[in-house]
Amino acid sequence: MAKIPVSAFIVAKNEEARLGRVIEALKDWAGEIVVVDSGSTDRTVAIAVSLGAAVYHNAWAGYGPQKSFAETKCRYDWLLNVDADEVVSEALAGEIQALFTHGEPDPGAYRLRILNVYPGDEKPRPLANDYNVVRFYHKAVGTYSTHPVHDRVELRDGTGLRQLRHPVFHHPYLSIEQLIEKNNRFSSFGARHTGKKRSLLLMKLRLFFEFPLNFFKFYIFRGHFAGGWKGFYFALCNAFMRTTRVAKMLEAMTADEVAAGFKPSPQPSHEGN
């Protein structure tokens, strides 16, 4: 593949098990690969350097801030963001290259289909319908938001938004054990960085509906019913993670309410003793 003027950027921490194949899928055609590491203690940095990526360190402040920092390190105007557990398919690489057949295309933004791959599988399940988000865009039309949890590209008004047909393969978990650990960490992070100006009563009501609604969304609308037992368990865990996030938010809100209403008892006077 001929290299094109595209900067592919990746944020990572302790991703030695997955980062290699992510970069391998980019290095033959992307003009530049930027990896922003937030303090790996494994071989993540060494792997990135060995495969030709430019590596920078930035302390973790959330998903949006980390990706915004990565953007500043990219030298090309066209940016492709992939996570450290996402592999650009050969078909998608060819589709992106084709856009540059007659030189750089006009500034714009493209949605990419991100399809989950279960642990032990090589391809997504049939009928996979996970995420369709802006990941390939020109610097002139958009940039990542700085929200710590919801990392998304904010586009300027009037930006032409197009769709790329071929997918990115997302390998979010290497095992069921990692799935559970990651969901626990993500629910805690999400609870800490979600706005506190919420009704305690509404949050309590939400807790009862969070699991069934999210299970239905993942299992039916996102097509995990076609994934057999792995699909059922994946939908189950994601619904549980979102319910756990609400429970953790309630825990924090209740503690804040108790702290705000606490008044220390008056100390007895010792005068005249």
Residue 242 falls within a domain, yes or no? yes
Closest CA to 30 of 59, 11, 51, 58: 51
Q: What is the CATH number of the domain that holds 158?
A: 3.90.550.10
**What separation, in Å, do the N-terminal and C-terminal C-alpha atoms of the chain show?**
92
- What 8-state DSSP symbol labels residue 219? I
Residue 233 falls within a domain, yes or no? yes
- On whether both 143 and 26 belong to a single domain, the answer is yes
Residue 14 falls within a domain, yes or no? yes
pLDDT of residue 267 exceeding 60, the answer is no
Residue 110 falls within a domain, yes or no? yes
Q: What is the pLDDT of residues 210-251, one digit of tens each?
A: 999 999 999 999 999 999 999 999 999 999 999 999 999 899
Mean pLDDT, residues 69-91 taken together: 97
- On whether both 130 and 151 belong to a single domain, the answer is yes
Residue 269 falls within a domain, yes or no? no
* Overall number of domains in the chain: 2
Mean pLDDT, residues 183-200 taken together: 78
* The pLDDT of residue 193: 74
- On whether both 122 and 248 belong to a single domain, the answer is no
Contacts of 159 (CB under 8 A, 6+ apart): 108, 109, 141, 142
R_g of the chain, CA atoms, integer Å: 22
Considering only residues 160 and 60, tell me which one the structure prediction assigns the higher pLDDT.
60
pLDDT of residue 273 exceeding 80, the answer is no
How far apart, in whole angstroms, are the C-alpha atoms of residue 146 and residue 144?
6
* The pLDDT of residue 158: 83
Residue 273 falls within a domain, yes or no? no
pLDDT of residue 272 exceeding 50, the answer is no
For tokens 């009563």, name the residue: 201
- Identify the three-state secondary structure at position 64: helix
Considering only residues 175 and 193, tell me which one the structure prediction assigns the higher pLDDT.
175
Torsion on CA atoms 252, 258, 263, 268, rounded to nearest 10: -100
- On whether both 183 and 248 belong to a single domain, the answer is yes
Q: Return the minimum-mean-pLDDT range out of 8-12, 76-80, 182-186.
A: 182-186
* The pLDDT of residue 1: 58
**Listed residues 122, 151, 170: the one ending a domain:** 170
Residue 267 falls within a domain, yes or no? no
- On whether both 106 and 192 belong to a single domain, the answer is no
Considering only residues 249 and 78, tell me which one the structure prediction assigns the higher pLDDT.
78
Cβ atoms of 214 and 239 within 8 Å: the answer is: yes
- On whether both 116 and 214 belong to a single domain, the answer is no
| pTM of the predicted structure, to 2 decimals | 0.84
How far apart, in whole angstroms, are the C-alpha atoms of residue 140 and residue 77?
8
Closest CA to 226 of 128, 132, 159, 88: 128
The domain of 25 spans 4-170
- On whether both 126 and 17 belong to a single domain, the answer is yes
